[in-house]
Homo-oligomer: A and B are copies of this chain.
């Protein structure tokens, strides 16, 4: 039996090359049971004419399908659905009826709304995307990344890609972090003091779970990274938000009964201020006096284009009180989800066991790709390129903010990727943000960063990590105009 050519159509939502789409169309028809073993496909000439593609496209797609044994070729008779082709299931798919479960009761623990980030997925289509923490296509070094990924896909690395490491990590990546990445932050660590994580988020979560419980007390910066509060809620601990000043977290304001402090000394999130070396030392002294631990989120330390980065808090710590959180997701791209945790071996042992229970280990292929990208020097070259671009954008940003009279509430003395601003009293920057989207401007309201249930509504953040230089001044002008009109 021949399959009629007009039962074929190219799915308009399908992606990839035309050849790939033809291949998908035929494979899916077989998998869904529409085409059965032994049936003859339309000739490549007929199919090509019907779909409006070239004949060679159809022939190549058919040939690929022969290789995967979906089709067989019988010379001049044409192509047939293979006798070995996958078979559709023998039973129909059903949707559950209206359920009998009361889900408001069945759920044992609630976590929603969780991150609750109001950032549009189509941010790149905005004309003035002052969005924070997304990759910039124009800066990322895709060519070398692809080469490293390709190398990590080779047969030589088959085991690194495919193996179940159980609770382990790629030894090559761990060795590089220990020998090259950490020394550049002033840190020396052994292999059993390092754990690869699914980005900084995962590293912070693991730290909180291991160090805290319902009887422990944490301290966080206020304002701070909002997801950190979700993380602490899950650890069931008590926590105190401590207001930051222009020098970051003030050690003297920490409650006496603090067990664990979460801090961002390099660039305080979101105010971008950098903690001075004197204050770092004071914080470490206080940790020793009051017997608390510090989780240092060293994000964006690489983006120190105005001054060389100061040593990490951990490098100043002589007593093993600092747990260090680093991330490649920030500097490479957030979709990578790769970071690391550095701390004393007894701590890392617990974090490793917990990580194994929740997900085993970060994917091997990604670990190996990053390991190549780092060891070949591409990573540092990328950081340098990004720093230069950020530096130029920052200068444009500073000038524009001055020109249009916006009030800077915090900007990193070392660099960073964003500026923290304050609108006139009474402004609701969430409303402002919604209104500015109509002008194709993306900016970030500041209220979610604050711990209070009645947070100040005047703050907002403008990042320059994903916006071209030429769009910064006109974007700032639109923001200033919207503020003036309120």
Contact = CB atoms under 8 A, between A and B. Distances in A.
B94 A188 contact: yes
B358 A227 contact: no
A196 interface: no
Interface size class of chain A, counting residues whose CB lies under 8 Å from the partner chain: 35 or more
Contacts of A377: 23-24, 26-28, 30-31, 65, 68, 70
Given A124-B159, A360-B201, A97 B354 contact: no
Given A96-B319, A112-B350, A360-B201, A163 B134 contact: yes
A361 interface: yes
A204 B91 CA distance: 26
A239 interface: no
A199 B91 contact: no
A135 B162 contact: yes
Nearest to A329: B164
Interface string A394-433: 0000000000000000000000000000000000000000
Interface in A156-180: 156, 158-168, 172, 175, 180
A184 interface: yes
Contacts of A97: 318-320
Q: Copies per complex?
A: 2
A346 B32 contact: no
Contacts of A187: 93-94
B106 A211 contact: yes
The 10 closest A-B pairs by CB, nearest first: A99-B320, A114-B353, A27-B377, A162-B333, A164-B334, A335-B364, A68-B381, A135-B162, A198-B359, A103-B346
14 contacts: A14-B375, A30-B377, A89-B311, A93-B188, A99-B321, A109-B212, A135-B158, A149-B150, A161-B333, A201-B359, A202-B358, A230-B357, A234-B354, A337-B363
